Structure 1
Amino acid sequence: MSSHLGMLLVLLLAIISVQADNSSNSYQFVREYKGATFFDDWDFYGSWDNLTVGDAFWVDSQTAWNRSLVSVNSFGNAVIRTDTGHVDWNIKRDAVRITSHASYDLGSLLLIDVYHIPWGCATWGAIWTMGPDWPNGGEIDIIEGINKQPYNQIALHTVPGCTRDPNAWFYAEPGEGDCSAPAGCIIKQTDTPSQPSYGDAFAAAGGGVWAVQFDIQGIYMWYWPRWRAPTELDNPPEFGLDISGWGQPVAAFPGTTCDMASVFAPQKIVIDTTFCGNWAGLPQVYAQTCAGQETTDGKPATGSCYVDNVIGPGSPRFDNAYWELGHIRAYTTGTNEPRATSEPTATSVPTATSGPTATSGHTATSGPVASAPNTTDGPTAVVVKHDPSPTSTSADIIWQPSAGGGIHLRPIPSHLLSIGIVVLFWITMT
């Protein structure tokens, strides 16, 4: 009998040891944005793009639903579209920007399953995160691309003192190294025919999955085309994730040259699409990424992003300017401890000092205005999108790992519990 009890003890210890996880490698499930409830916990911006001087008007929730700019398709995927109707001169084209109610602190991991990314001339789409008081709270650009750019661009934006460690190993092409520079510290994903990360090739390949580890030791990102995604990503989210076998990340920003705790506040998730603006619409950038582009009516190109694309018919020009998302999942290393914070009001939203004004809704009083040339690899400081939604009314929920770090215990998954019950039954019957 004592041997049986010993075997039982060994079994229980084995099950517990499987569940004991290192705080930087194993994550517990927090929440999922998916399917019919995908859009339940987001704020819609409800104003013009006064952040990038883009030629978009980000509609409110009611308008987005009424005009099918947001929907859930027959596959259960969330779809976020842009307007494809006719736009007259001096008018902005309607699009969507949403910001999550919840914020995610150091110790979090995000999993983003994407089937389609907005692409095409004049299009600028991004999935990114922001702190409550940019730039003091930092920004993480996870998925971002413009025009017909052939790759995804990853970046961090912080206050001075944070840089990308030049000795960090990752599978991508490094760009600017100073995270406080106008473009941020950049990593350009290196695309191959079998592993595209942006544009029509990405959509044709069935999309892919990004994972973002937001940790005090650094910020790390992985990307897999759908056919290469780890099998554990198909498990029910309640099983959690162990990232120890994920291998080399596509982007690495280790804490060796950046104090993550001092430059990054809890982050909200933002999904948006704008047009032109002071990255996609910069003359030299537009010329490089939309060479030979005709206007919407087939006339020779003028070189103006707004004139050649935004005005006139939106189809087929913007037929590919949409997001299709399988899900976004959030995980944490420890016990979730939500705490409410006050939501900034619309009065804190800055207005752009140049470019189109918002005095008449969608209409820009002076038409599109080209900003000064940008000599960096990406956006200028104005480009970095940093404001809460002016239509937000909800309190923040900040998901934090439990204090202390170290080893945490997860609930035992049902398959391991079943094994334990079977073995226990066998022991008691012998």
Structure 2
Amino acid sequence: MTPLTGRPALVTVILVLHCVLSQAYTLVHNYNYTNWYSSFIFEDLPDPTKGFVDYQSLNDSLSLGLTKIIGKQVYMSVDNVSVVPLTSTGRKSIWLESKDVFQHGLLIGDFEHMPGSDCGIWPSFWTFHNYDASGVYGEIDILEGFNDITRNYISLHTSGNCTFKSPPSKQTGVPNNDNYDCNLSAGAGCSVQAPEGSYGASFNAQGGGVYAMQWASRFIKIFFFPRNSIPADIVAGKPNPAKWGLPTANFDSRYGHCDLEESFQPQTIFFDSTFCGAAAGGKAWTSWTDCSVKTGYSTCEEYVAGNPHAYDDAYWLINSVKIYQRSEDM
């Protein structure tokens, strides 16, 4: 092969290699037992979801044993010792938010344990737009449930007009109640129900697993992998969503109407474990789940206040939360 005929081929190889490298995800943040307390703020704020809960600061959470480092894992729990007066704010728990914000990329959470499927509790791993982005509400609920359910509800909530209707061939989850409208005024947002084993007791029984959110300008995809099915590229620290198959939830603007760039500003990462409130109390207690019959209590607050050991299983055990981005995401 002469230099003249070989040069175009070499240029082609270089261009292909450049494209491959530009599409690769690079680790930007790795939150784990070494830096958790310096990376997240433990807020002692009033619960915005009207829960029966008393969130604790980092210092108080540490002194009460609500959080600690166990080996190489982060432990975060609720008060499972005290009987709480009904006239109080509620049961002590944690609410934390990341100091960093991010826009686009991969958010990967590796959890060995999450709060169980216990009546009265409402745990969540989610993201929300930067508070500086006034006038725009964009929330992504990656892992969330309430009371005794056993499946995760993946949801988007927006202040603007956002609808998604991904066909069954594009995701493995099932739309919840055929609600495709993400507008906040609709309450539930646009929600997809993940399979059994994705939440609470069934999630914990298999050693937990990994949740991954892939966020690009056109779509937000959520993947769930049980412990024994985590892709090797995630384990190796070189995630490649192109090899993961169908997502559990696929919010793709091609299958609906939504300006994702407008609706989802830079996001902050949140963890919380609240009680009762808008999702686990009220009708959720008496009608949507069988907790009132199962517990013998007519209200969520009465049960939560008087039964601390019902929440012995209400803790997070976190291996890591990582953010990866490509060059075009940064």
TM-score, normalised by the number of residues in structure 1:
0.68
Q: Does the C-alpha gap of structure 1 residues 283 and 303 become closer, same or farther in structure 2, counting only changes over 3 Å?
A: farther
Query: 2:320 aligned with 1:327, yes or no?
Result: yes
1: CA distance between counterparts of 2:18 and 2:316? 36
1:369-389 deviation line (CA, Å, top 9, x unaligned): xxxxxxxxxxxxxxxxxxxxx
User: 1:311 maps to what in 2?
Assistant: 305
The alignment yields a C-alpha RMSD, in angstroms, of 2.4
Residue 135 and residue 231 in structure 1: after superposition, are their counterparts in 2 closer, same or farther (change >3 A)?
farther
Matched, 1:178 2:181: yes
**Separation in 2, partners of 1:163, 1:221:** 17
Q: How does 1:254-269 map to 2 (within 5 A)?
A: 254-256=252-254, 257-269=257-269
Contact 1:283 1:303 in 2 (8 A): no
User: Which amino acid in 1 is paired with 2:181?
Assistant: D
Q: In the alignment, which residue of structure 1 is the partner of 2:75?
A: 79
- Give matches, 1:126-165, under 5 Å: 126-131=124-129, 132=131, 133=133, 136-165=136-165
Deviation string for 1:212-254 (max 9, x for gaps)?
011101101111101111011111x3xx432211111110000
Query: In the alignment, is the contact (CA less than 8 A) between 2:126 and 2:269 conserved in 1?
Result: yes
- Distance, in Å, in 2 between the alignment partners of 1:84 and 1:33 is 26
Q: How far 1:40 moved relative to its partner?
A: 1.5
Q: 2:57 aligns with which of 60, 67, 72?
A: 60
After superposition, the Cα gap between the structure-2 partners of 1:328 and 1:16, relative to the gap in structure 1 and judged at 3 Å, is: farther
Bigger helix share: 2
1:29 and 1:307, CA in 2 relative to 1: closer, same or farther beyond 3 A?
same
Aligned partner of 1:226 in structure 2 is 227
Structure 1 residue 22, shift from structure 2 partner: 7.2
Is the contact between residue 162 and residue 178 of structure 1 (CA under 8 Å) also seen in structure 2?
yes
Helix, strand or coil at the partner of 1:220: strand
Partner of 1:270: 270
Structure-2 separation of matches of 1:111 and 1:289: 33
Q: Which amino acid aligns with 1:174?
A: P
TM-score by length of 2: 0.87
Question: Unaligned stretches of 5+ in structure 1?
Answer: 295-300, 336-400, 403-430
Matching residue within 114, 118, 125 for 1:117: 114
Encode CA deviations 1:374-428: one digit per residue, 9 max, x unaligned: xxxxxxxxxxxxxxxxxxxxxxxxxxx24xxxxxxxxxxxxxxxxxxxxxxxxxx
For the 8 Å contact 2:285–2:292, the answer to whether it is kept is no
Instruction: Tell me if structure 2 keeps the 8 A contact 1:213–1:220.
Output: yes
- Cα offset for 1:39? 2.4
Higher Cα radius of gyration: 1
1:269 aligned counterpart, secondary structure: strand
For the 8 Å contact 1:26–1:243, the answer to whether it is kept is no
Identity of aligned residues (%): 28
Q: Per-residue deviation at 1:160?
A: 3.0
Q: Kindly tell me: are residues 286 and 38 of structure 1, through their superposed partners in 2, closer, same or farther at Cα, counting changes over 3 Å?
A: farther
Runs of 4+ in 1 over 3 A off after TM superposition: 12-20, 283-287
What number of residue pairs does the alignment pair up? 312
Contiguous gaps of at least 5 residues in structure 2? none
Kept after mapping to 2: 8 A contact 1:155/1:185: yes
Paired residue secondary structure (1:201): helix
1:93 and 1:273 map into 2 onto residues whose CA distance is: 10
Structure 1 contact 83–93 (Cα < 8 Å) conserved: yes
Contact persistence 1:122–1:146 (CA under 8 A): yes
Say which SS state the counterpart of residue 241 (structure 1) adopts: coil
1:302 and 2:297 matched: yes
**1:413 aligned residue:** none
User: Equivalents in 2 of 1:14, 1:58: separation in Å?
Assistant: 56
Alpha-carbon separation, structure 2, partners of 1:154 and 1:249: 11
Residue equivalent to 1:293: 294
Report the secondary structure of 2:269's partner residue: strand
Structure with the largest fraction of strand: 2
